[in-house]
Amino acid sequence: MNGILLINKPKNHTSHDIVAIVKKISKEKVGHTGTLDPNATGVLPLLIGKATEISKYLVNHDKTYIATIKLGIKTDTADAEGTIIEKREVPEYSEEEIENALKKMLGKQNQIPPMYSAIKVNGKKLYEYAREGKHIKLEPRQIEIYNIKLIQVNKQECEITFEVSCSKGTYIRTLCENIAEALGTIGYMKELNRTKVGEFSIENTVKIEDIKNNENLLKENIISIEEFFENGPKIELKDVELNLFLNGVILNKNDLSNNLYKIYNQNKFIGIGIAKDGKLKRDVILQEN
């Protein structure tokens, strides 16, 4: 079984929890392309079997989220799981003022990751330092906010819900704190739902509980490697060339442009090859020699 499975991750499950469940059911190697916090929900692409080798083509995907900010309260983790460290009165805001604050977040910018994150420094995760009461100086990272829009304002609960499309590496918890700051107050991320990863949308996901109750759903919902690269160019290799290719021999293919190619033999999908400077070499292979 080789392919991509799109899970709609529920709350109170780590990404590792979901991987372990699918690994047990599929009896294959399983990985993911980026964690979701235990309290977050939404699209979690899992790579099964040989598809773990295509993770390099998914990790840089842009993402879309729907998030809710709780204004007037700051926590040490910047989300609902943390300890409250500050409270403030929340002024009245018009929708126009909130929309203006959101617009200030658009574009390329430097963002400092939160201390409660899985980023490693000297082989140790940041949240491990944070739990020890240690603060590590972090360098800002460039991110980009492509689109952001207001969805709902709950004045009674002092909450704002918005949708954001952003680049890889964007921390929505930090973004929520920045939005609150732009409004002249403090806040934390109360809810987070990832609705899109690259071209993978939440409408195409399956629930992990449904798979546990009906294991056939795993096979029915898997996206094959061939399907994932369906819009890419393909090349047919004859038996002699295929044998060389599968044994790691780099083929001379001056007629090919620099690109990824779907490799076929007698119309059977073999895997993915990389063409560069007139040379074709193997990348992800489903059929070994």
Choosing from 37, 79, 239, 255, the catalytic residue is 37
Q: Where are the alpha helices (DSSP H) in the chain?
A: 15-26, 95-103, 126-131, 172-182, 208-213, 216-221, 225-228, 239-246
**How many C-beta neighbours within 10 Å does residue 194 have?**
24
CA 32 to chain centre: 8
Q: Is 79 a catalytic residue?
A: no
> Cβ(12)–Cβ(38) under 8 Å?
yes
Gap between the Cα atoms of 199 and 146, Å rounded: 15
Gap between the Cα atoms of 6 and 43, Å rounded: 6
> Cβ(274)–Cβ(283) under 8 Å?
yes
> Cβ(66)–Cβ(171) under 8 Å?
no
Residue positions annotated with a catalytic role:
37
